[in-house]
Amino acid sequence: QLSQRLLAVADYVGPDEIVADIGSDHAYLPCYLVKKNKIKKAIAGEVVEGPYQSAINQVKQDQLGDYIDVRKGNGLTVIVPGEVTTVTIAGMGGPLISEILENGKDRLEGVKKLILQPNISAISIRSWLQENGWQISDERILEEDKKIYEVLLAERTKEQMDLSPSELLLGPVLIKNQSAIFKLKWEQELNQYKKILKQMQMAGQQGSLNQKKQDIEQKIKMIEEA
Ligand code: SAM
C-alpha cells in the first residue's frame, strides 16, 4: 500500500496522463498509477545509482517494464520536451524541487500539470511557480507518521498569479481552508520561530542577525494574522 503522502500525489493524476516522476526512488508512485490502471505510461527518473537500481527492480518485480521507463539522470534531463503531460516531484525539500524545475525549464514544454510534494519550504516552490507562468489550482495538507506534508497541484496560466507574502508562505488554498492539520503545522512553526527569535535576542544586536530577525518577525506576524 502506498503512503498517504504519495496517495495524495497520485490523486491529482488524471486518467491517461503521461507522468514523469522525478526522484522516484523505488518507483512506487508510477508503479501504483499503472497498476491501478490510472495511466498507461510513465517515466521514473533517478540521479543516484542505488535508488535507480531500486526503481528498476521494483518495475521488474511488478512486471511493468512495458509501461514504465526507468531513466538515470539529473532532474528533468531524463525527459524530452513534449514527452509527458505531468511531472511529479515528491519527498524532497522545496528549494531542491524549485532548483530541478528551474534547471529543467526547457523540458517542461508540453507539460500541463506539476504535482509537487515538498517536505519543507513550500514557499520556494510557490515563488517559482508564480514567476514561471504556473498557477496553483489546488493544495492539500496531511499528517502521516507525525510529519506534516503539503501537496501542490499547479497548472499553466496565461495571467500571472499574484500571491500575497502570506499566501506564498502558507499556501493560497490552504490558508482559505484552515484545516486542523494546517493549524497544527503553523502553531508548531510559530513556536519554532519564537524560540529562534528569543535566542537571537539573547545573542544581542549583531548586524548580520538583524535582517534574519526581521524576516522571522515578519513570518511570525503573517502566521498570527492567518
Ligand atoms: N519520490 C519518492 C517519494 O516521495 O517517496 C522518493 C523521495 S527520496 C527522499 C528523494 C529521491 O530524489 C532520492 O532517491 C534522490 O536520489 C532523488 N533525487 C534527488 N535529487 C535529484 C535530482 N536532481 N534528480 C533526480 N533525482 C533526484
At 97 the pLDDT is: 98
Crossing angle of the two packed helices 49-61 and 28-35, in degrees rounded to 10: 20
**Mean per-residue pLDDT for 103-121?**
97
From CA 151, how far away is CA 29, in angstroms rounded? 14
Q: CB of 25 closer than 6 A to ligand 1? A: yes
- What band does 205 get if pLDDT is binned at 50, 70 and 90? low
Q: Alpha carbon of 38 to those of 26, 33, 78: distances in Å?
A: 19, 5, 22
What would the grid cell of residue 204 be?
Answer: 544581542
From CA 190, how far away is CA 136, in angstroms rounded? 24
Give the distance (Å) from ligand 1 centre to CA of residue 23: 3
Give the distance (Å) from ligand 1 centre to CA of residue 51: 8
Percent pLDDT > 70 in the chain is 98
Residues recorded for the chain: 226
Q: CB of 104 closer than 6 A to ligand 1? A: no
DSSP 48: S
Which helix (H) or strand (E) element contains residue 45?
strand 41-46
Global pTM reads 0.96
Q: Does residue 207 register a pLDDT over 70?
A: no
Percent pLDDT > 90 in the chain is 91
Choice from 1, 22, 54, 97 to test ligand 1 binding pocket (greatest atom count within 8 A of CB): 22
Choice from 92, 97, 114, 144 to test ligand 1 binding pocket (greatest atom count within 8 A of CB): 92
| Reported ipTM exceeds the 0.95 cut | yes
Give the distance (Å) from ligand 1 centre to CA of residue 92: 6
From CA 167, how far away is CA 208, in angstroms rounded? 27
What would the grid cell of residue 129 be?
Answer: 511557480
**Mean per-residue pLDDT for 19-43?**
98
- What band does 210 get if pLDDT is binned at 50, 70 and 90? confident
**Mean per-residue pLDDT for 92-120?**
98
94 or 210, which is more confident: 94
